[in-house]
Amino acid sequence: DGGITQSPKYLFRKEGQNVTLSCEQNLNHDAMYWYRQDPGQGLRLIYYSQIVNDFQKGDIAEGYSVSREKKESFPLTVTSAQKNPTAFYLCATKETGFGNSPLHFGNGTRLTVT
Amino acid sequence: DAKTTQPNSMESNEEEPVHLPCNHSTISGTDYIHWYRQLPSQGPEYVIHGLTSNVNNRMASLAIAEDRKSSTLILHRATLRDAAVYYCILSSNTGTASKLTFGTGTRLQVTL
């Protein structure tokens, strides 16, 4: 069954700890994206990757890091430098980084840092 | 990257048509217009997209202004299941990856 898997669905961490959110896809899509959503707000772009071993900062990259070592995987690390890490994190893929193919989203990971 | 603006919220009665507007006055000639919707605690789902001509699919219709500076998502008969936040975004067709920035969207309320 093709799709995007984000795990875990809920994640709890203590302040000062780094945490890595998983995003795996079997759609064979080239492009992958990470978005952050705060309550009642829209989606804000953190990082995106068009191809393996390449990624670019989005609008709010500070305090986050990513890697794209495999086409299927685009993990996001929320570091202790991120001032307000509690949020809903969404991973998305796209067949290519440009053009008319639509975004496909995972079901998200809700991160709570106390 | 070009930006889009949408009303914060709209209301509709069930079984009535709904027209959700989106302004994108700085759109470039190669930008596609995409619409997505998001239910609570879920990731957004794709609704429809277009470039210049009006588009129809099983979920909705997309009407694009002749100058492409605005577009309208049309739900022909709103149901309670259509209550969601609707996002309009621009997707570049150039050789570099588009940042695909989302705004705050329009929250659609559907009442009986």
C-alpha distances out from residue B70 to A28, B32, B34, B60, Å? 33, 12, 12, 17
> Which band of pLDDT confidence, cut at 50, 70 and 90, is reported for residue B98?
low
CB pairs under 8 A between A and B: 73
Q: Chain A contact for B17, CB < 8 A?
A: no
Mutation test of the interface with chain A: which of B99, B106, B107, choosing the one with the most A Cβ atoms within 10 A? B99
Closest Cβ–Cβ partner in A92, A100, A110 for B49: A100
pLDDT tens-digit map of A3-34:
999 999 999 999 999 999 999 999 999 999 99
Q: Cα separation of A50 and A61, whole Å?
A: 16
Instruction: For chain B, give the mean pLDDT.
Output: 91
Each residue's pLDDT tens digit, A26-60: 999 999 999 999 988 889 999 999 999 999 999 99
